[in-house]
Structure 1
Amino acid sequence: MVFNLSDQNSVVKQYLSEVRDKALQRDPSRFRRNMERMGFILAYEISKQLTYTKSVVETPLAQTEVDVPASLPVLITVLRAGLPFFNGFLDVFDQSPCGFIGAYRKEGGEAVTINLDYLATPSLEGRDVLLIDPMLATGLSFTRSVQSLLARGRPRKVYIAALVAAPDGINHIEKNMPVPFDIWTVAIDERLNDKFYIVPGLGDAGDLSFGEKL
């Protein structure tokens, strides 16, 4: 399934409008903070889909029964653009194990090529995995990442977590994802341009967060 937070009005739309605004993008600290806020909100919404179990805690006055996640999800982000967005997820799931993927788009040519050169994760066997990357453009980085992650165990389910998604990328994931999944995004944009960038999008999330790369 695809879950789009912009289907309903909430303060997340204010944060999204600010990261899109090229005048406000001159302030990288504000950009990163808004990415973190939206990551926090998206993580909270995804938390409603997890499996919960009963537990008992001791308060200063009595014992009481509480509901807690049966198993914390593994958080995995794509370096470097995903880091501020990922920090919002980590604020919600602050005890979760984490993993990191080095994936980047090879520029040039008529087709998109995704290179993966770094992978550090715990075992994923039977786990819920949140795969966090702000831009879901072609979808290739997500499917390539999951194919690589299968070497670390087969997840129970993968939650694709994006800030902005393009319809082409959603379609690619729906046709090619090798494990059960849901797609969660703050917004679904119009299209990809001829360079496979999301339109209207927001630009290069990594550069806007950390400065232009060589």
Structure 2
Amino acid sequence: MRVQLVEHPLVSHKLTVLRKKETPSMIFRQLTEELVMLLAYEATRDVKVQPVEIETPVARMTGVALAKPTPLVVPILRAGLGMLEGMVRMAPSAEVGFLGMARNEETLDIVTYAERLPADLTDRHVFLLDPMLATGGTLVEAVRFMYARNAQRVTCICLLGAPEGISRLERELADVEVDIYLAAIDERLDEQSYIVPGLGDAGDRLYGLAE
């Protein structure tokens, strides 16, 4: 597993404003979109391309285009939806799927409650979107879900990560290839499994429920 911390002044600045508890949902959504665009720029460096012949106003030339099958972008519901717009702005020809996962409070198992994905992901590069890599349980199951459908490669894009969640992914996904792109790695998880210092509940802040 490869963990890539995207260090850039604009990322640090936008993330600082995102963290502030007084930042309203409208600004939070806008900053999330902008941060995802910056993260996606780095996360798509190795995306497959193929040569394509085009004609400019001056001459013919060989350019590049995203190879078929195109990447598949999958936000993990619900908070991952807030990252979708930024990702598709960077890769507008990518296809979009959806995955809903939640923890069963009695068994603590991660269960899939909704999915809209191709049945076969052979040769597909999947980009999973989830703002908070906290305990890592949901992301572990999401990655395994994609590989169970024969995904060729899985890349995860998160705003924040906790050391505990990163360690869990390294431990439980040691047998598969996965890349993680993060804007920051924070100190730890608290007793309620919130990232510290974090930014609170990303889903609530995206959709105004924290105000």
User: Shift of residue 106 of structure 1?
Assistant: 4.7
CA distance in 2, matches of 1:133, 1:104: 13
Alignment of 1:1-214 (within 5 A): 1-5=2-6, 8-24=7-23, 27-71=24-68, 72-106=70-104, 113-122=109-118, 123-151=120-148, 153-177=149-173, 178-212=175-209
CA distance in 2, matches of 1:64, 1:204: 49
Q: Which runs of 5+ in 1 are unaligned?
A: none
User: Shift of residue 9 of structure 1?
Assistant: 3.1
Q: Considering only aligned residues, what root-mean-square deviation do their CA atoms show, in Å?
A: 1.9
After TM superposition, the score normalised by the length of structure 1 is 0.89
User: Shift of residue 117 of structure 1?
Assistant: 0.5
CA distance in 2, matches of 1:189, 1:114: 24
CA distance in 1, matches of 2:134, 2:36: 18
CA distance in 1, matches of 2:189, 2:90: 31
User: 1:76 touches 1:132 (CA, 8 Å); kept in 2?
Assistant: yes
CA distance in 2, matches of 1:112, 1:196: 13
Identity %: 35
Q: AA paired with 2:117?
A: T
CA distance in 1, matches of 2:198, 2:3: 18
Q: Which runs of 5+ in 2 are unaligned?
A: none
User: Shift of residue 182 of structure 1?
Assistant: 0.8
CA distance in 1, matches of 2:49, 2:92: 17
1:174-208 deviations in Å (ceiling 9; x for gaps): 12125311111111111111111111110011100
Structure 1 consecutive aligned stretches of length 4 or more whose deviation exceeds 4 Å: none
User: 1:158 touches 1:179 (CA, 8 Å); kept in 2?
Assistant: no
CA distance in 2, matches of 1:209, 1:114: 23
User: 2:126 touches 2:146 (CA, 8 Å); kept in 1?
Assistant: no
CA distance in 2, matches of 1:90, 1:164: 20
SS of 2:82's equivalent? helix
1:130-158 deviations in Å (ceiling 9; x for gaps): 0110000011101112233344x211110
User: Shift of residue 112 of structure 1?
Assistant: 5.1
SS of 2:16's equivalent? helix
Q: AA paired with 1:83?
A: L
Q: How many residues align?
A: 206
SS of 2:9's equivalent? coil
1:60-118 deviations in Å (ceiling 9; x for gaps): 221111123324211001111111212100111111111111123455x8x95433211
Q: AA paired with 1:179?
A: V
CA distance in 2, matches of 1:4, 1:78: 21
Using a 3 Å threshold, how does the CA distance of structure 1 residues 112 and 21 change in structure 2: closer, same or farther?
Answer: farther
